[in-house]
Structure 1
Amino acid sequence: MKKLFLFLIAATFSVAAFAQTKWTTDPMHSFVNFSVKHSGISLVNGSFKKFNGEFTSDKADFTDAKVSFTVEVASVSTSVEMRDNHLKTDDFFNAEKYPKMTFESTSMKKLKGNEYELNGKLTIRDVTKDVTFKVTYGGEVKDQRGNVKVGFAATTTINRLDYNIKYDPTGTGVAKDVDITLNLQFVKSK
């Protein structure tokens, strides 16, 4: 009887693990962008060129999704080399000491239609804060090679001062609020 019980427990965990679907970012069709107000009159747009994300989910509507995302800070690009180099210093990201930004989800809630709310922990430099992304599910397709892909757009706004990015603390030259936009395509693991 004891062996049967242990077998049933092992089978239950095996089925649960097997049912979980893993998705990874398709870097050729994904973008991590940001914009911040400059001198109170215009926007500076930028992006990060190197990142890696994945999520797992058992449910078809992704409400149980567990999302993990990493961005390489040194890959920042604003199309101005001098500014990019400044962003990598301790005035901003300190890419040498803190080479990665990370996000780990805590919940994914469906609001209505294709709209979701993704909550999690965002770490920049040595600070981790709760953050909420507004997420729009773009749909699912199968490509010509038979790969299943899904698309999401996610947006949020953070206060850079909350993450020990103390350059221009008044926000006069570089605003405190930074808008983050992720346009992501994920590929289903086979």
Structure 2
Amino acid sequence: MKTLLNILAIITLFTNAAVAQVNWTVDPAHTNARFEAKHLGIAFVDGQFKKLDGKVVTSSDNDFNNAKVNFNIDVNSIDTRVEMRDNHLKSDDFFSAEKFPTMKLANATLSGKNGKFTLTGDLTIRDVTKKVAFNVVQNNGIITDPWGKTRAGFTATTTINRFDYGINYADKLPSGVFAVAPEINITINVEITKD
């Protein structure tokens, strides 16, 4: 009987360890979501979204492999340093921000090791959701900051085609070059803190 109880105790211990979760929160003061698109075929115009939030859930406090990630971006916080351009990007030609005020990355999983990962999840822009994969690099491991918080930092990059998400603005030059290229480069620099 004692052996059976010991076995049950060990199973319980391993089961609890297997379902343990560590929660992390995106630090919006030290996170930015940036984008750039080729303009008139000759240069890049960039911008950022200034308001965002997100959560990361890991199975341990020192390993991000198989982490679950969810991320929300406030479309109305777009900033390209030119108000007229920002307003155009918020219009129906692009993000239709009044109707679709939030972009989301949901059901995303981080997979990899040694600080190099792939983040794969469902990206929703406007009313279109598609699978997307980011290349992710963890920046210098996990630290304890001067105020006692546990932090980790990552840089994630990908390229999407905006036409895939219903952003169909398609003005062209007489040469046939798009005024705003379909390919959008995305970079997200993120710091997360352990809850």
Q: Same fold (TM over 0.5)?
A: yes
Q: Which amino acid in the other structure matches residue 182 of structure 1? A: I
Stretch moving more, 66-75 or 162-171: 162-171
Distance (Å, rounded) in 2 between the aligned partners of 1:39 and 1:62: 40
Deviations 1:127-182 (A, max 9, x none): 00010000001121111111000000000000000000000166610000000000
Q: CA deviation at 1:18?
A: 7.5
Indicate the SS of the match to 1:19. Answer: coil
Q: Does structure 1 residue 128 correspond to structure 2 residue 129?
A: yes
Asked if 1 retains the 8 angstrom alpha-carbon contact of 2:23 and 2:55, the reply is yes
Q: Which residue of 2 aligns with 1:186?
A: 192
Q: CA deviation at 1:105?
A: 3.6
Indicate the SS of the match to 1:43. Answer: strand
Asked if 2 retains the 8 angstrom alpha-carbon contact of 1:32 and 1:47, the reply is yes
Q: Does structure 1 residue 79 correspond to structure 2 residue 81?
A: yes
Stretch moving more, 56-65 or 73-82: 56-65
Gaps of 5+ in 1: none
Distance (Å, rounded) in 2 between the aligned partners of 1:119 and 1:27: 21
With the length of structure 1 as denominator, give the TM-score of the two structures: 0.88
Distance (Å, rounded) in 2 between the aligned partners of 1:12 and 1:52: 34
Distance (Å, rounded) in 2 between the aligned partners of 1:14 and 1:27: 34
Q: Which residue of 2 aligns with 1:159?
A: 161
Larger radius of gyration: 2
Deviations 1:85-140 (A, max 9, x none): 00001000001100000001443221x53211111100000100010000001121
* Aligned partner (choices 161, 164, 172) of residue 178 of structure 2: 172
Asked if 1 retains the 8 angstrom alpha-carbon contact of 2:67 and 2:111, the reply is no
Deviations 1:2-39 (A, max 9, x none): xx9xx98xx67993598211111111111110000000
Asked if 2 retains the 8 angstrom alpha-carbon contact of 1:161 and 1:169, the reply is no
Q: Which residue of 2 aligns with 1:147?
A: 149
Distance (Å, rounded) in 2 between the aligned partners of 1:106 and 1:31: 18
Distance (Å, rounded) in 1 between the aligned partners of 2:142 and 2:27: 14
Q: Which amino acid in the other structure matches residue 161 of structure 1? A: F
Asked if 2 retains the 8 angstrom alpha-carbon contact of 1:105 and 1:118, the reply is no
Stretch moving more, 50-59 or 78-87: 50-59
With the length of structure 2 as denominator, give the TM-score of the two structures: 0.86
Percent of aligned positions that are identical: 47
Distance (Å, rounded) in 1 between the aligned partners of 2:68 and 2:80: 30
* Cα distance, 1:102–1:12 mapped onto 2, change above 3 Å: farther
Q: Which amino acid in the other structure matches residue 187 of structure 2? A: T
* Cα distance, 1:141–1:96 mapped onto 2, change above 3 Å: same
Q: Which amino acid in the other structure matches residue 145 of structure 1? A: W
Give the RMSD, CA atoms, in angstroms: 2.2
Gaps of 5+ in 2: none
